[in-house]
Amino acid sequence: MPLTTRRSLYFLAPRRLEVRQETLRPPQAGQVVVQTLVSAISPGTEMLVYRGQFPQHLKVDLPDTDKEFAYPIAYGYACVGQVIEAGPAVSPDWLGRLVFAFQPHVSHFVAAAERLLLVPEGYSPETACFLANAETAVNLVQDAAPLLGEQALVLGQGIVGLLTTALLQAFPLTTLIAADRYPLRRKASQALGITACLDPEAADFLPQVKTLLPHGSDLTLELSGVPQALNLALTLTGFDGRIIIGSWYGKKSAPLDLGGSFHRSRIKLISSQVSTIASSLSGRWNKARRFGVAWQALQRIRPERWITHRFPLEQAAEAYRLLDESPDQAIQIVFDYQT
């Protein structure tokens, strides 16, 4: 008997959530029904939505929607599930397949088959739910374009920061340093085999970086989500260096110190966002090719080791409260729909 209802998570107002029971419409031609197995919280973007720090009248950057950021909103973009029903004109080969979707947190959903990404054989749902952030990390590294022998610095070791650092570790860099204020993240970062992962709030942080990077970094990636970190990036980047800004700050802002040596430094500030592909690459790269690289990266990195908490969807308020109030205790939180 076909399913007729689903559970969906909605953000109602700052720090207010609700799991709603909704009607699940039947699939139309070309569509399938997916039962979600696991969905990952993106701690950066989703916390802006949770806290009400998103800009008004900005379009939601998800496929098949022209909605703006406004409450109430269903948001999320890392669902992995199994196809349980195929609509008209859909091959029965889809049934039982594991798929990834840029889909808000929901127990079941209907989607066009062509909009789903088939999970490669041998990948667990837990590995696959990192795909969106892995694509972001691939985009960041492509925009950064690291060179042989460069010295690089990554500010922020959340999920995107860890994935980006893991990708950079595969490059023949002379030095690769990361920074994060939370010990749990620093431990995960250091396990990647990088030069060092330091505490930016430590009294000796600047002297340590100056020792490791006496001429400043050639390449700095700002992935902390903290606007004030841009000034730190400017301080630690050397002459003619590049700063890749991957953080989305939402409505958060901070004064930027462009006085002093910045005017003479020739430092380049580069905005990087995964929704598009840099014009310098678009002649040979498209989203499909980049996803292929992201899948391969997930196979090498195995980021499921960074899942620190699992919650049923009904305990979503507890999950977001943990990220909001005790971010030092979590790296990746997922909703598990099989419990």
Q: How confident is the model at residue 44 (pLDDT cuts 50, 70, 90)?
A: confident
| Model pLDDT, residue 63 | 62
Q: What is the pLDDT of residues 188-206, one digit of tens each?
A: 999 999 999 999 999 999 9
| Model pLDDT, residue 66 | 63
Q: Report the distance separating Cα 234 and Cα 211, nearest Å.
A: 17
Domain boundaries for CATH 3.90.180.10 within the chain: 5-129+302-336
Q: What is the pLDDT of residues 91-123, one digit of tens each?
A: 999 999 999 999 999 999 999 999 999 999 999
Question: Which has more confidence, 229 or 162?
Answer: 162
Q: Which CATH superfamily is domain 5-129+302-336 in?
A: Medium-chain alcohol dehydrogenases, catalytic domain (3.90.180.10)
| Model pLDDT, residue 144 | 97
Q: How, if at all, do strands 307-311 and 332-336 pair?
A: parallel
195, 175 contact by CB (below 8 A):
yes
E strand or H helix that includes residue 316: helix 316-325
Q: Report the distance separating Cα 157 and Cα 222, nearest Å.
A: 10
Report the chain's C-alpha Rg in angstroms.
21
| Model pLDDT, residue 64 | 59
| Model pLDDT, residue 146 | 97
Q: Report the distance separating Cα 235 and Cα 253, nearest Å.
A: 18
Determine if residue 162 is left, alpha or beta; phi over 0 gives left, psi from -120 to 50 gives alpha, anything else beta. Answer: alpha
**Which fold does the domain 133-271 belong to in CATH?**
Rossmann fold (3.40.50)
Find tokens 């030092």 and name the residue.
Answer: 328
Q: What is the pLDDT of residues 137-150, one digit of tens each?
A: 999 999 999 999 99
Q: Please provide the size of the chain in residues.
A: 339
pLDDT at 62 over 70: no
Q: What average pLDDT score do residues 74-103 get?
A: 96
Angle CA 201–202–207, to nearest 5 = 115
Q: Which amino acid is at 40?
A: A
Chain-centroid distance of CA 43 in Å reads 8
Domain boundaries for CATH 3.40.50.720 within the chain: 133-271
